[in-house]
């Protein structure tokens, strides 16, 4: 069994690589819901949608989010009626939000609704929202406190970030199956998602970080930082806002209390050597260097294979150490 | 001031004729909501939509309902997910249902939501749902009791109708402005809509029939029956199911307690003569013969002009009678 903790876009690509080399029934995907919001009164779960569309083979490969060959007629109509239109909901995507909203208003939990959606789309991997409660990633900026999608999509992450909080997290509980999946998986993989606002909300749900501490499996993360910047998106600025270096060292520090393996890009070979040399070995993960940038499907599959191989090696090392 | 009582398709064409010859501010349109339903959890008001799309110049002229140049990608996606797809909601139309549902869930009444929608679409006439309560037209057939849209759209009005009821009508109240509009208008016009299931639900809302009895204005109806059949739809079968003749006589009988003028098609010249001759003049409306079939825009305008002219004449006759 393999469990993945993930956000949307970059994480979805990583999951796509995994699903091509691992039997889908062996994959449990725990997904960030901190970006969820009500849009036109409908419940939108951007990261769950990206994962579900990817697993169902429906994601737009050009955009990296939403449905392939999408149209936006409802969105244009809403704009004409004077409603907000900055969040690009396509017509096919809208069906998903309507269906989820109906399931929720009929009494389903988000995890039940997600399981139903996955079933309808023929998805065999298990997709688990991190929590059925409302946990909202709130981004404090000079312009005020924003929802994550306001910060990320509406304002294109141009605001300087003063603080991040996960509203509701302290009262949230992991969805059924999340803690067991983490505790019982052979490998627990953190996708190359934004550590602060994609993986961070998952870690903020009480019980999940503890489960990572208790996990017997190998825990590996793929760094979304290459060199001194994120591959895409605001991960760099957000790490800096939390006092972490914008480098693989910052990522290692962010996950240091539970991480066994950090997978970094070949461009960071030197940084990897420095990290291996200078850090306290008890809190420094094993560094695995490979090509992490996923430009095409071959890259995705190769990265997934490389990460799994690094986990196998690390597992053998751990077992050898335990037996010694 | 002119007040129109109407359903969707045929009524919308009649309203279109009127809006071309009357200042839009002078028109109040009271619309059937007995066909309203929850579709995918969204509040759909088919007749309000037809009227609003017509007044906004957005209606599909080919279909007579929905939005022009419409696409159906969300509908196809819903069908792929295994959800019902027999009600043809287009992508642009979907925006309307989402917006209305949001306004309602934010606490607006249906009449407030309708006024907001009309404002956003630049409509200057007043569009009033008959009631803010839920009144549902229920059609009893051998296949069980159906909602109107199940009977009409899903099953294409093939079932024999045993009974009609307007669930919730006894507890409903007219929306603000409805009774005043009827009482104070110079002309009150019943569109060539289905008397039983388009005008019938409006008349079933307590207070509306009484307001028609008290109205000082001339009350005129355009017969949706020409010869021995409805121009379109199930009006004939529904009139028959209620014990009325499927003819202009049946329509005259259906409205007999308040109708001043019945506008019938030229094809019914002979039936009009017979009706004038044989009926008790105290309960028989004045019969106005004109071309009522609206094939094109010229027909709509001509019918509207003819109905208004008949009302003017009838008004003069009434005043002359009162003065004599």
pLDDT digits (tens, 9 = 90+) for B123-159: 999 999 999 999 999 999 999 999 999 999 999 999 9
Distance CA A35, CA A116 (A): 21
Cβ contact B260:B219 at 8 Å: yes
* Residue A63: per-residue pLDDT: 87
Cβ count within 10 A of residue B302: 17
Nearest CB to A102; choose among B41, B77, B121: B41
User: Token digits for A227?
Assistant: 């060199």
In total, the C-beta contacts within 8 angstroms joining chain A to chain B are 82
The reply to whether B229 touches chain A by the CB within 8 Å rule is no
* Residue B20: per-residue pLDDT: 97
* Span A83-108, average pLDDT: 98
Cβ contact A4:A32 at 8 Å: no
* Span A248-274, average pLDDT: 96
Distance CA B80, CA A93 (A): 13
CA distances from A214 to A120, A188, A257, A300 (A): 34, 12, 11, 29
Cβ contact A300:A54 at 8 Å: no
* Span A218-246, average pLDDT: 95
Q: Do A74 and B94 touch (CB under 8 A)?
A: yes
pLDDT digits (tens, 9 = 90+) for A143-195: 999 999 999 999 999 999 999 999 999 999 999 999 999 999 999 999 999 99
User: Token digits for B38?
Assistant: 């929850």
**Chain B environment of A101 (Cβ under 8 Å):** 41
> Would the pLDDT of B282 be above 90?
no
Distance in Å, alpha carbon of A113 to nearest chain B alpha carbon: 13
**Chain A environment of B77 (Cβ under 8 Å):** 67, 91-92, 95-96
**Among residues B219, B221, B176, B173, which one has the least CA distance to residue B7?**
B221
Q: Do B92 and A74 touch (CB under 8 A)?
A: yes
What are the φ and ψ backbone dihedral angles of B290, each rounded to 5 degrees? -160, 180
| Least confident interval from A74-78, A102-106, A162-166, B232-236 | B232-236
* Residue A188: per-residue pLDDT: 98
Q: Tell me which chain A residue has its CA closest to the CA of residue B99.
A: A40
Q: Tell me which chain B residue has its CA closest to the CA of residue A95.
A: B74
Q: Where are the alpha helices (DSSP H) in B163-207?
A: 178-184, 200-204
Pairing of strands B218-222, B261-265: parallel
Q: Do B106 and A71 touch (CB under 8 A)?
A: no
What are the φ and ψ backbone dihedral angles of B5, each rounded to 5 degrees? -105, 130
**Chain B environment of A74 (Cβ under 8 Å):** 74, 91-92, 94-95, 98
> Would the pLDDT of B187 be above 90?
yes
CA angle B223, B229, B233 (to 5 degrees): 85
The reply to whether B98 touches chain A by the CB within 8 Å rule is yes
Distance CA B96, CA B83 (A): 20
Tokens 């929306």 -> residue: B175
Chain B interface mutation, best of A73, A87, A96, highest count of B Cβ atoms under 10 Å: A73
Q: Do A95 and B77 touch (CB under 8 A)?
A: yes
Beta-bridge partners for B6: B31
pLDDT class for A214, splitting at 50, 70, 90? very high
Q: Do A41 and B101 touch (CB under 8 A)?
A: yes
Cβ contact B244:B218 at 8 Å: no
pLDDT class for A281, splitting at 50, 70, 90? low
> Would the pLDDT of B64 be above 90?
no
Pairing of strands A126-129, A27-31: parallel
Cβ contact B232:B220 at 8 Å: no
> Would the pLDDT of B321 be above 80?
no
- SS3 state at B238: helix
> Would the pLDDT of B323 be above 90?
no
* Residue B74: per-residue pLDDT: 98
Q: Do B92 and A73 touch (CB under 8 A)?
A: yes
Distance CA A74, CA A67 (A): 15
Cβ contact B29:B4 at 8 Å: yes
Q: Do A77 and B71 touch (CB under 8 A)?
A: no
Cβ contact A296:A267 at 8 Å: no
Distance CA A95, CA B74 (A): 5
Chain B interface mutation, best of A38, A60, A87, A98, highest count of B Cβ atoms under 10 Å: A98
| CATH 3.40.50.10680 holds for A1-37+124-324 | yes
Distance CA B129, CA B5 (A): 10
Q: Tell me which chain B residue has its CA closest to the CA of residue A81.
A: B120
Cβ contact A203:A131 at 8 Å: no
Q: pLDDT exceeding 70 applies to what percent of chain B?
A: 98
pLDDT digits (tens, 9 = 90+) for A296-308: 999 999 999 999 9
Cβ contact B191:B6 at 8 Å: yes
> Would the pLDDT of A319 be above 80?
no
Beta-bridge partners for A42: A39
pLDDT digits (tens, 9 = 90+) for B101-118: 999 999 999 999 999 999
Nearest CB to A74; choose among B74, B117, B120: B74
Q: Tell me which chain B residue has its CA closest to the CA of residue A75.
A: B95
Question: What are the residues whose beta carbons fall under 8 Å from the beta carbon of B310, sequence distance 6 or more?
Answer: B220, B261, B263, B286, B288, B290
* Residue B279: per-residue pLDDT: 63
Distance CA A121, CA A114 (A): 11
What are the φ and ψ backbone dihedral angles of A4, each rounded to 5 degrees? -115, 135
* Span A257-282, average pLDDT: 89
pTM above 0.90, yes or no: yes
Cβ contact A66:A19 at 8 Å: no
* Residue B46: per-residue pLDDT: 97
> Would the pLDDT of A244 be above 70?
yes
pLDDT digits (tens, 9 = 90+) for A103-121: 999 999 999 999 999 999 9
User: Token digits for A64?
Assistant: 């990296």
Helix (H) or strand (E) holding A322: helix A297-323
Q: Do A95 and B101 touch (CB under 8 A)?
A: no
**Chain B environment of A89 (Cβ under 8 Å):** none
Distance CA A201, CA A12 (A): 17
Chain B interface mutation, best of A49, A76, A91, A102, highest count of B Cβ atoms under 10 Å: A91
Q: pLDDT exceeding 70 applies to what percent of chain A?
A: 98
- SS3 state at A158: coil
The reply to whether A101 touches chain B by the CB within 8 Å rule is yes
* Residue B223: per-residue pLDDT: 98
| Least confident interval from B199-203, B212-216, B229-233, B258-262 | B229-233
Distance CA B306, CA B317 (A): 16
The reply to whether B85 touches chain A by the CB within 8 Å rule is no
Reported ipTM: 0.92
Q: What's the mean pLDDT when you consider all of chain A?
A: 95
Distance CA A295, CA A288 (A): 20
Domain segments of chain B as ranges: 1-35+126-324
Q: What is the CATH number of domain B1-35+126-324?
A: 3.40.50.10680
Q: Do A78 and B95 touch (CB under 8 A)?
A: yes
Nearest CB to A77; choose among B81, B92, B102: B92
Q: Measure the N-to-C terminal CA separation of chain B; round to a whole number of Å.
A: 26
What are the φ and ψ backbone dihedral angles of A178, each rounded to 5 degrees? -65, -50
Q: Do A71 and B82 touch (CB under 8 A)?
A: no
């Amino acid at each position: 069994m393999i469990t993945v903790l993930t956000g949307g876009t970059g994480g979805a690509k990583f999951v796509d690589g995994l699903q091509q080399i691992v039997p889908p029934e062996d994959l449990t995907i725990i997904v960030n819901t901190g970006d969820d919001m009500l849009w036109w009164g409908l419940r939108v779960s951007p990261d769950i949608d990206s994962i579900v569309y990817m697993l169902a083979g429906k994601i737009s490969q050009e955009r990296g989010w939403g449905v392939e060959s999408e149209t936006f007629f409802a969105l244009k109509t809403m704009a004409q009626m004077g409603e907000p239109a900055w969040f690009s909901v396509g017509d096919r995507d809208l069906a998903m939000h309507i269906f989820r909203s109906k399931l929720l208003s009929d009494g389903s939990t988000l995890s039940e609704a997600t399981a139903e959606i996955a079933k309808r789309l023929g998805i065999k991997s298990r997709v688990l929202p991190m929590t059925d409660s409302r946990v909202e990633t709130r981004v404090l900026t000079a312009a005020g406190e924003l929802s994550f999608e306001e910060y990320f999509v509406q304002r294109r992450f141009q605001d300087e970030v003063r603080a991040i909080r996960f509203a509701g997290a302290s009262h949230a509980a992991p969805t059924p199956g999340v803690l067991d999946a983490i505790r019982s998986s052979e490998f627990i993989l953190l996708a190359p998602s934004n550590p602060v606002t994609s993986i961070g909300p998952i870690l903020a749900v009480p019980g999940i970080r503890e489960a990572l501490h208790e996990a017997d499996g190998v825990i590996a993360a793929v760094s979304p930082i290459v060199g001194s910047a994120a591959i895409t998106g605001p991960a760099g600025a957000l790490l800096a806002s939390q006092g972490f270096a914008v480098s693989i060292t910052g990522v290692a520090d962010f996950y240091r209390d539970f991480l066994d393996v950090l997978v970094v890009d070949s461009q960071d070979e030197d940084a990897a050597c420095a990290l291996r040399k200078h850090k306290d070995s008890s809190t420094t993960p094993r560094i695995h260097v490979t090509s992490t940038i996923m430009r095409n499907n071959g890259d995705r599959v190769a990265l997934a294979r490389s990460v799994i191989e690094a986990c196998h090696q690390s597992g053998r090392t751990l077992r050898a150490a335990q037996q010694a």
